[in-house]
A = this chain, B = another copy of it.
Amino acid sequence: MSNNFDGFFYPKSIAIIGASSKEKTLGWELMKNLLNFGYNGKIFPVNPKADSIHNVKAYSSLTYIEEKVDLVIIMVSKKYVLDSIEDCKRRNVKNIIVITAGFKEVGDEGVEMEKLLMEKIRNNNMRMVGPNCMGIINTKTNVMLNGTFIQGEPNPGGIGFISQSGALGAAVLKILKLRDIGFAQFLSIGNKADVNENDLLEYWRDNEDVKVITLYLESFGEARKFMEIAKTITRNKPVIAIKAARTAAGMKAASSHTGALASADTIVDAIFEQSGVIRVTTVDELFDLAKSFDRTILPSGKRVGILTNAGGPAILTVDEAQNSGLDIPELSEATQNKLKEICVPEAAFHNPVDDLPPATAEVYGQATEILLEDENIDAGIIILGPPLMHDTFEIGKAICDEAMKSGKCAAIVLMSQDDIIPRLAEAVPLHPPIFNNCEAAAKAIGQMYKYKLFKEKPEGKYKIINGDKKIVNEIIKKYENKETYLDFDDVVKILKAYNLPIVESFFAKNVQESVDIADKIGYPIVIKVAGKKLVHKSDVGGVVVDIKNLEELIQAENKVIAGLKEKGIDNQLEGFTLQPFIKGGTETILGVMKDSKAGHIIAFGMGGIMVEVMKDVKFKLLPINDFEAEELIKSVNAYKILKGVRGNPPVDIEFVKDNILRLSQLVSDFPEIVELDLNPFVFSHLNDRCKILDARIKIKF
């Protein structure tokens, strides 16, 4: 099975099975697009009823074509698709796009049909895009392939776009020129029966024509593989994605705290964030950012210079720039003096520079040059308000030229002048990204700056930590082939085997035993109800802390028992867990859950009874490296507390990190662990006083 898609994107010849001479049919539209866009290879329409289609000689069957066929596009009705594949087999065609719909997406019968189709594809070592897709595009000058039946001419550029929705692809194609978006390659992947986004990502990783990868996904083919592949791309080539169907049910365990906190969509967030994929939520955002990556360079820093001929739009730009993490610095005196020489005296020479409506194309061009030359400026946004006196088009050209010459990151805003954008883009083929509103430009540069920071991050190293596997192995064996929570004693042993600092615990069957044990460990102590069914101990009033002496102990346990009786659940009580009381420190939660698609996921954040209230928890996929562990810690608010707040001494963050890596190792060694909560995990400034006060582990074979 080949993962080289040159045969799809750079075919020397294409056959269209189902090309049609009947106007307005899909087979007619696709042929028209192929011809109009100026495809550079050979076109073989296949239709048993036509001699020629759009004046191109037609063949009654694929098998009659004498020349080599690189790519076959199938758009016959559903019942003939399998026969068409047979024809491909006969002609040894390996690259097939099935546009025909009516497969998995229509339910039972279609599912069966798609299975048969895939069998044929696999048995013949073919690769298939679709079924139920809209086709393929490559705008490269020596290819000029528009193998879609969509209205609207592809606009060339460096963006690769994978769309799981044909209609969405079509919607974008229709506005490429209007929004200054340029496509290098486009593929509508339809039902993803064979080729999915992961294949394309791998292919585009090393494809020089595609400079920015964009995706519209409704589901992951294989989530974990997506992350692994994306990780190998994002530092070199930006990947931007919409993952729609955000609230669709994810497969996940939800009885643990960690599981309850991880919605299907937070897992998607974690996958994207960890692999460096930039997630956006709207189509506009997707392509505003993609065209910026494509048409200008990364900003070298976060300092943005703004040039405008109108105050209001500049102020909105400043607002959005600052909101997106950018700065609006003061300009150098030299810059201001140079601007004074060319602008009218009432102009504003501070950042944002306002050269006012009288500014001509010449003035605007010069001002652009001067602004971008300033060494305090890493990127420029040049705004052109609705024109009053001058020709926006001419001014736009002057700005484009100077912005491109500057060698800096730049964007142009033609406020509300949608009509000028395609004209300007065509007149100046090499131009910065052009926007019709200023907020979008500022937001895009802010995201580019964040991407720059991402590229500069250390990659991190995976550490191997030696836990006592033998002990854990023995314990887990006891539960073989079960799906169950482990006994607390076993949990303690497992954690100890990996040096995870679980607090000393003692089990007491009743009040009398409690008193004896407390004498041994010494006061103050904590008591917790014990019982397999008593999972959320605090909720039933089953936890009492800081018990200072015998009397308090007896009183506390009797009160707890009375409370359970009142709730009618005293029969669930099996005894008490006693622990030394650890005073102070910050309660965190450290947990792991296993998602059916994304695999093991680790969670860290504010713990104890604040878990649900604050929802200050972030996630990463396991295994996790040292830098990712540090990022995880720093990504939650709890970090501010751990660092030491208002006179409290700081926690040793390296020690927190070490515990995260230990936990990662434990789960990596024993993937049978499907849920694990360390909550609360109390950290204080002395490492030997950091303790896990409660823990649960669930395994599933």
**Chain A residues at the B interface, C-beta cutoff of 8 Å:** 24, 26, 102, 106, 149-152, 163-168, 170-175, 178, 216, 218, 242, 244-247, 281-284, 309-313, 315-316, 318-320, 322-323, 346, 385-389, 415-418, 437, 439, 536, 538-543, 609-610, 612-614, 637, 640-641, 645-648
B-side contacts of A245, CB under 8 Å: 315, 318-319
> Which of B149, B283, B418, B641 contacts A613 (CB under 8 A)?
B641
With known contacts A246-B323, A418-B175, A648–B313 Cβ distance under 8 A: no
With known contacts A244-B319, A316-B244, A540-B647, A385–B418 Cβ distance under 8 A: no
CB pair A281–B319 under 8 Å, yes or no, is yes
With known contacts A418-B175, A437-B284, A170–B386 Cβ distance under 8 A: yes
CB pair A174–B613 under 8 Å, yes or no, is no
Other 4 A-B pairs with CB < 8 A, given A163-B312, A281-B320, A613-B645: A166-B310, A167-B312, A246-B319, A247-B319
How far apart are A159's CB and chain B's nearest CB, in angstroms?
16
Q: Roughly how many angstroms separate A561 CA and B503 CA in the complex, as a whole number?
A: 34
How far apart are A207's CB and chain B's nearest CB, in angstroms?
25
B-side contacts of A613, CB under 8 Å: 637, 640-641, 645
> Which of B26, B106, B315, B645 contacts A165 (CB under 8 A)?
B315
Chain copies in the assembly? Answer: 2
Q: Roughly how many angstroms separate A10 CA and B163 CA in the complex, as a whole number?
A: 53
How far apart are A28's CB and chain B's nearest CB, in angstroms?
11
CB pair B647–A318 under 8 Å, yes or no, is no
CB pair B439–A282 under 8 Å, yes or no, is yes
CB pair A282–B316 under 8 Å, yes or no, is yes
In this complex, the member of A170, A313, A648 whose beta carbon has the largest number of chain B beta carbons within 10 angstroms is A170
B-side contacts of A322, CB under 8 Å: 246-247
Which residue of chain B has its CB nearest to the CB of A167?
B310
CB pair B539–A647 under 8 Å, yes or no, is yes
List the 3 shortest-distance A-B pairs measured between CB atoms, nearest first: A165-B312, A167-B310, A168-B312
B-side contacts of A284, CB under 8 Å: 437, 439
How far apart are A158's CB and chain B's nearest CB, in angstroms?
21
With known contacts A24-B389, A283-B437, A415–B171 Cβ distance under 8 A: yes
Q: Roughly how many angstroms separate A415 CA and B167 CA in the complex, as a whole number?
A: 9
How far apart are A653's CB and chain B's nearest CB, in angstroms?
16
Q: Roughly how many angstroms separate A175 CA and B418 CA in the complex, as a whole number?
A: 9
CB pair B646–A170 under 8 Å, yes or no, is no
CB pair A538–B416 under 8 Å, yes or no, is no
> Which of B172, B318, B437, B439 contacts A416 (CB under 8 A)?
B172
How far apart are A313's CB and chain B's nearest CB, in angstroms?
6
B-side contacts of A540, CB under 8 Å: 647
CB pair A614–B612 under 8 Å, yes or no, is no
Q: Roughly how many angstroms separate A357 CA and B293 CA in the complex, as a whole number?
A: 34
Q: Roughly how many angstroms separate A150 CA and B415 CA in the complex, as a whole number?
A: 14
> Which of B216, B247, B388 contacts A312 (CB under 8 A)?
B216
B-side contacts of A416, CB under 8 Å: 170-172, 174-175
How far apart are A24's CB and chain B's nearest CB, in angstroms?
6
Which residue of chain B has its CB nearest to the CB of A606?
B614
Q: Roughly how many angstroms separate A168 CA and B413 CA in the complex, as a whole number?
A: 13
> Which of B311, B614, B646 contacts A167 (CB under 8 A)?
B311
B-side contacts of A315, CB under 8 Å: 165, 218, 244-245
> Which of B167, B282, B311 contacts A386 (CB under 8 A)?
B167
CB pair B312–A218 under 8 Å, yes or no, is yes
B-side contacts of A389, CB under 8 Å: 24
Q: Roughly how many angstroms separate A312 CA and B243 CA in the complex, as a whole number?
A: 11
B-side contacts of A609, CB under 8 Å: 645-646, 648
Which residue of chain B has its CB nearest to the CB of A643?
B613
CB pair A536–B646 under 8 Å, yes or no, is yes
How far apart are A147's CB and chain B's nearest CB, in angstroms?
16
With known contacts A151-B387, A281-B320, A311–B247 Cβ distance under 8 A: no
Which residue of chain B has its CB nearest to the CB of A321?
B247
Which residue of chain B has its CB nearest to the CB of A25?
B389
B-side contacts of A539, CB under 8 Å: 646-647
Q: Roughly how many angstroms separate A346 CA and B152 CA in the complex, as a whole number?
A: 27
Q: Roughly how many angstroms separate A311 CA and B234 CA in the complex, as a whole number?
A: 29
B-side contacts of A283, CB under 8 Å: 316, 437, 439
Which residue of chain B has its CB nearest to the CB of A649?
B541
CB pair B346–A102 under 8 Å, yes or no, is yes
B-side contacts of A167, CB under 8 Å: 309-313, 385-386, 415
